[in-house]
Amino acid sequence: LSRGRPAAGMAGGRWAAGLALAWGCCLLLCCAAASKLEVSMPVVVEVESGGTARIECNFYIPGNGSYTYIDWFYIDRNNRVRLCRITGNEIVQENTDYKGRLSVGEDKALSISRVTVQDTRTFVCHVGAGSHGVGENRTDLHVYSELPSPYGSTRCSRLSLPSQIAQCVSRNSFPPPNITWHKNGEQLQPEEKMVKIPTTRTRESSGLYTVSSTLFAHVTREDRNSLYHCTVHYWLRGQTRTVESQRVNVTVFYPAEHVKLQVMPSSTLVKEGDDVKLVCEADGNPAPVFSFFKRELEDKWQDLTSLADTNSGVLNLHDVSKSSSGLYRCQTLDLDDMRQMEKDVELVVNYIEGVHVKMEPSSPLQEGDSVKLSCDAHSPVALNYQWRDGKGRKIAEGNQLFLSNLTFETSSNFSCKVIAPSVPGLEQSKQVAVAVQGKPRIVAISSPLYVRQDEVVNLTCKAIAFPRPSVHWNVNGTAHEYVENQHVASNLTVRVNHDLLRAGAMCRVSNALGVSEKHIQLLDQKTSESKGVIIVAIIVCILVVAVLGSVIYFLHKKGKIPCGRAGKQDITKPEARKDKIVVDVKSDKLSEEAGLLQGANGEKRPAADQVGQSVVRC
């Protein structure tokens, strides 16, 4: 037991020594770390081409020590090239390509102006601190160009070929972008014998890249409406970004499968005189060559291609008539496969012909007779009939018009208007004259006529008759005749003399069926003036009486002239008694009524005083 105790003491001593050694090593390492020079820099600095790059260099020197020098380098093909050295307040630049573009800030950060893509490299900050040793770190400078601007071009494609659809180019980019293709918004992937997307990348002398991508693909008829675009994916500020080109449509060539021929406007509405278009359309691209024909007798076809626009497929027919109706044909020829297609259409030109008006009886008509007018016409469509008078006013509908008890005033030009209601604008008219015969009848003369001696006046005589009558005057002058339908008017210009004033003028109208005469009386205008004076005098008297009545009514309203059953005013007694009111008693109640009478001053008056006196009533 005594031997074992020293052994245990020796083991405990070794453990304590080991622990002390471990703590010592730890303290030594901590002291070494705290005394080491440390340099920190950003891993990557990104800047746009043409801008200024600022690369920071932060360092730590133990004990707040100061640096001895700072060197800035860039790496070129694994070699260090010094840009400048900083000692104290002095900065010495080396003769490099960066001279003139470098500057060092107070925080020792390096700034490079007007950077280009060639400045994309690694920069090193090396710090020397005397007894504290040296330290360094590095930063990768990335220079990117302006946002890439993709542009594309398209080409025509045929169904049978794996055609080039479009090309997308992005110029002056750094770093080089990636290009993808999209159809109707969905990304396309390379597919054997269906989709190919070769890409080329070119580095320009400026260090920027031009990337070109071409899309080859099989197309179908449905792709004529498809929209394609490319997307450029580029790196900016540590992130991947995209920019898209405009959408483009591909011109797809394919043969026609269907042909359509139609009449413009609708064939059911075409009428004589219209301009008509026959429009032929095919669903191929490009449009085929069009030819037009019209079927004649015995199944022969008349070539109308010279009248048509063979490129647009339009045949123009101007001022069509009944003979323009018939079967028309359009033929198409595809120049790629020389395949022909055709389509027919029937053109119907609506018309109205043979408008005829029949009058019964057709013999000469006399006043009091009746007549029936019948209208007829031919057309492939239903017709309506209207009758109108000489002034264009509608007077009846239907194809017959009955006129009874005819007079001279009934004589006129009547028209039958034929209308096709199913074809707007299709109508025709036929006119007929209904003339009623009879001896002349004078309907208007200028009589009596007030004139002056030696005055030039117009004498008018208007008559109605058929056959057309002649007008004669029994005095000399200048006559002018005016005829309208069955009416005839004669104006005679004469100078007034004594004989004309005395005898007047006679208008005589005659035709083969009789004579009518009327006298025109001429009156001297002086006589008219004297009569006018008398009329004026009468009017003045009436006005005076009216004014007098108004004055009396006004005085009555003011109480100056009492009126009514109460009494009468004495106008025969002396002036002093004229203010007394009297009454004319006409019954046996004289004594009773007399007691009720008073004078103007309120005193009662006996009735006997009023008997036999002159009175005036109001």
70-128, pLDDT tens digit by residue? 999 999 988 999 999 999 889 999 999 898 899 999 899 999 999 988 898 999 999 99
For residue 464, how many other CB atoms are within 10 A of its CB? Answer: 24
Q: Band the pLDDT of 527: cuts 50, 70, 90.
A: low
Strand positions, DSSP E, 218-318:
227-236, 239-244, 248-249, 252-253, 259-264, 276-282, 289-295, 301-303, 308-309, 314-317
* CA angle 533–536–537, rounded 5-degree value: 90
Q: Band the pLDDT of 597: cuts 50, 70, 90.
A: very low
Tell me what the mean pLDDT of segment 155-176 comes to.
73
Please say if the pLDDT value at position 1 is more than 60: no
Distance CA 538, CA 529 (A): 14
Average pLDDT, the chain: 81
Distance CA 136, CA 125 (A): 5
Q: Which helix (H) or strand (E) holds 11?
A: helix 4-34
Q: Which of 474, 550, 568, 554 is nearest to 518 (CA)?
A: 474
Q: Band the pLDDT of 531: cuts 50, 70, 90.
A: low
Listing DSSP states for 261-289 in one string gives EEEES-GGG-BTT--EEEEEEES-BS--E
pLDDT given for residue 591 in this prediction: 38
Indicate the range of 191-195, 304-308, 329-333 predicted with least confidence: 191-195
pLDDT given for residue 360 in this prediction: 92
> CA dist 507 to 442, 497, 514, Å?
9, 18, 14
Q: Band the pLDDT of 467: cuts 50, 70, 90.
A: confident
Q: Which helix (H) or strand (E) holds 557?
A: helix 525-558
pLDDT given for residue 570 in this prediction: 43
Burial (Cβ within 10 Å: 0-12, 13-18, ≥19) of residue 394: exposed
DSSP bridge partners of 215: 166
More confident residue, 87 or 9: 87
pLDDT given for residue 371 in this prediction: 93
Where does CATH 2.60.40.10 sit in the chain? 38-144, 151-253, 259-347, 364-434, 439-526
Report residue 276 CA to chain centroid gap.
28
If one looks up domain 38-144 in CATH, what number appears? 2.60.40.10
Please say if the pLDDT value at position 349 is more than 50: yes
Q: Which CATH number fits domain 439-526: 2.60.40.10, 3.30.70.1250, 3.40.50.1100, 3.40.50.300?
A: 2.60.40.10
Indicate the range of 148-162, 420-434, 580-594 predicted with least confidence: 580-594
More confident residue, 299 or 539: 539
- Name residue 533's amino acid: V
- Both tokens of 584, joined, read 């004319």
Distance CA 323, CA 367 (A): 47
Q: Which of 27, 151, 138 is nearest to 73 (CA)?
A: 138
Please say if the pLDDT value at position 529 is more than 70: no
User: Count of alpha carbons within 13 Å of 400, Cβ hemisphere only?
Assistant: 4
Distance CA 16, CA 18 (A): 5
Q: Region of 95 please: left (phi>0), alpha (psi -120 to 50) or beta.
A: beta
Distance CA 611, CA 605 (A): 12
| Cα torsion through 80, 86, 90, 96, rounded to 10 | 20
> CA dist 384 to 1, 93, 269, 277, Å?
151, 109, 17, 29
Please say if the pLDDT value at position 234 is more than 50: yes
Per-residue pLDDT tens for 183-213? Answer: 999 999 998 888 999 999 998 887 788 899 9
- Both tokens of 153, joined, read 């071009």
pLDDT given for residue 383 in this prediction: 95
Architecture per CATH, 364-434: Sandwich (2.60)
Distance CA 589, CA 251 (A): 129
Are 167 and 212 a contacting pair, CB within 8 Å? yes
Distance CA 99, CA 447 (A): 126
> Does a cis peptide bond (omega within 30 degrees of 0) precede residue 467?
yes
pLDDT given for residue 2 in this prediction: 34
Per-residue pLDDT tens for 38-74? Answer: 999 999 998 888 899 999 999 999 888 889 999 999 9
Per-residue pLDDT tens for 477-496? Answer: 999 999 887 789 999 999 99
pLDDT given for residue 81 in this prediction: 94
Report residue 359 CA to chain centroid gap.
53
Please say if the pLDDT value at position 593 is more than 70: no
Q: Band the pLDDT of 169: cuts 50, 70, 90.
A: confident
Please say if the pLDDT value at position 594 is more than 80: no
Are 217 and 188 a contacting pair, CB within 8 Å? yes
More confident residue, 219 or 82: 82
pLDDT given for residue 11 in this prediction: 40
- Listed ranges 128-132, 180-184, 330-334, 609-613; the one with the highest mean pLDDT: 180-184
- Could you tell me the pTM of the whole model? 0.49
Give 3-state DSSP helix, strand, coil % of the chain, rounded to 5.
20, 45, 35
Please say if the pLDDT value at position 216 is more than 80: yes
For residue 376, how many other CB atoms are within 10 A of its CB? Answer: 15
Listing DSSP states for 46-80 in one string gives EEETTS-EEE--EEE-GGG---SEEEEEEEETTEE
Tell me what the mean pLDDT of segment 580-606 comes to.
38
Please say if the pLDDT value at position 420 is more than 60: yes
SS3 assignment, position 299: helix
Q: Which helix (H) or strand (E) holds 591?
A: helix 590-594
Distance CA 362, CA 346 (A): 44
> CA dist 599 to 7, 50, 376, 594, 604, Å?
180, 131, 99, 11, 6
> CA dist 535 to 447, 525, 528, 539, Å?
22, 15, 11, 6
SS3 assignment, position 427: strand
Distance CA 323, CA 347 (A): 10
pLDDT given for residue 496 in this prediction: 92
Architecture per CATH, 259-347: Sandwich (2.60)
pLDDT given for residue 562 in this prediction: 60
pLDDT given for residue 286 in this prediction: 84
- Both tokens of 497, joined, read 């003399």
Architecture per CATH, 151-253: Sandwich (2.60)
- Both tokens of 617, joined, read 């009533």
pLDDT given for residue 14 in this prediction: 47
